[in-house]
A = this chain, B = another copy of it.
Amino acid sequence: MMNKTLVGLVGVTAFAALILAGGKTPAPPEPSLAPAPEPLAVEAASSDEPVVPVEVSAEARLREKALAAGLSSLPSTLIEPRDNAITPDKIELGRMLFFDPRLSASGVISCNTCHNVGTGGDDNLPTSIGHGWQTGPRNSPTVFNAGLNIAQFWDGRAEDLKAQAKGPIQAGVEMANTPMQAVATVKSMPEYVERFTQVFPEEQDPVNFDTIAKAIEAFEATLVTPNAPFDRFLAGEDAALDETQQAGLELFIGRGCTACHSGPNIGGRSYFPFGLINRPNAEVLPPEDKGRFEVTHNPADEYVFRVAPLRNVALTAPYFHSGRVWDLKEAVQVMGHAQLGLALSDEEAGKIVSFLESLTGEMPSIAYPELPAETAATPRPTL
């Protein structure tokens, strides 16, 4: 950890100079127990106590800067969806459906196939493999913390996770099913019918495509990854980020990344053109995929995408909607050039990557569900 310095221009300037010089990063010191965070000077100033000079650590200043730039911590438990009250039974039912491959026409593909909760909530492929081994058009986004995003899919075409859940079940290149057959499949298994009846008592016909989607959304609401090193740093644990990660965070703020990547999901809250300053090459930004334009048909939305949320980004290579960049440092450099007009050096991009690695949180414990057995009424798989 950087030693605490007295508040003053000398300390701050020295820190900034270290960052901007891009000099050799000192080796991170041994981890130590974080001291209790010092009260900030601003806090002292706003109280009734007389203003006295207080020691403020470089970490405390960086924390303040990060919060001022709009970065924030993850909720530690559940991301409450709209219009879908969460109950333990609904979560449990959603967990079953999330892992049930029989929601696909083939009986082979489940939500977890492309949003694998064991590998960062995605499938680590450029674009997903679906029904008939077809490849989808865009990279599978992580399901973790997805409820924090402004809308779902790279182009925001689903307003929330319950709307999103209906997409892949029906997409010909994904699960290739129909709502009617998905409902018939679920209805064919008495244990599912019983659970839906219990979870959705207000529904006359509890198993329907909406309730399937709502149950899945309820499970996904629990897929939160709290206590990342960055969250612990924000909470006052100075030692949670090492010196390189702190330098990376400083750059992430200073270079302007936080203009888009902010909020609890470090992104996911707004839309921006990919290639705001410089257009990426055609592999990274294939000309045929016009992004949000395909939803709004507004020419201003050509090549506009939802800002990628960066939580757990170190687990979710390859990157971008096209999934063509495997290396996170390269992805950072592509973004610097395309969105900010910056040529980030290898060293700068490396520090930012170190910071991004601090966004990997604690994965929730997920029990693999025991699914009901098919019956004679269950539609047979179609390959």
Residues of A within 8 A of B (CB): 99-102, 106-108, 113, 116-120, 123-125, 129, 132-133, 135, 314-315, 317, 326-327, 363, 365-371, 373-374, 376, 380-381, 383
Contact = CB atoms under 8 A, between A and B. Distances in A.
B371 A118 contact: yes
Contact of A367 (B129, B132, B367): B367
Nearest to A315: B373
A373 B314 contact: yes
Chain copies in the assembly? 2
Closest 10 A-B residue pairs measured CB to CB? A133-B133, A118-B371, A366-B368, A315-B373, A363-B370, A108-B129, A368-B368, A119-B371, A132-B133, A118-B369
A135 B383 contact: yes
A320 to B, nearest CB: 16
Contacts of A383: 125, 129, 133, 135
Contacts of A106: 125, 129
Contacts of A369: 118
Contact of A107 (B117, B125, B315, B368): B125
A94 to B, nearest CB: 14
A313 B125 CA distance: 35
B326 A380 contact: yes
Contacts of A100: 118
Contacts of A380: 326
Contacts of A113: 108
A327 B376 contact: yes
B366 A367 contact: yes
Given A116-B101, A118-B99, A125 B381 contact: yes
B124 A102 contact: yes
B317 A118 contact: no
Given A99-B118, A135-B383, A368-B368, 20 more contacts: A101-B123, A102-B119, A106-B129, A107-B123, A107-B125, A108-B125, A108-B129, A118-B368, A118-B370, A119-B373, A124-B381, A125-B381, A125-B383, A132-B133, A315-B373, A317-B373, A326-B376, A327-B376, A363-B370, A365-B367
A364 to B, nearest CB: 9
Contacts of A99: 118
Contacts of A327: 376
Nearest to A117: B368
A183 B129 CA distance: 23
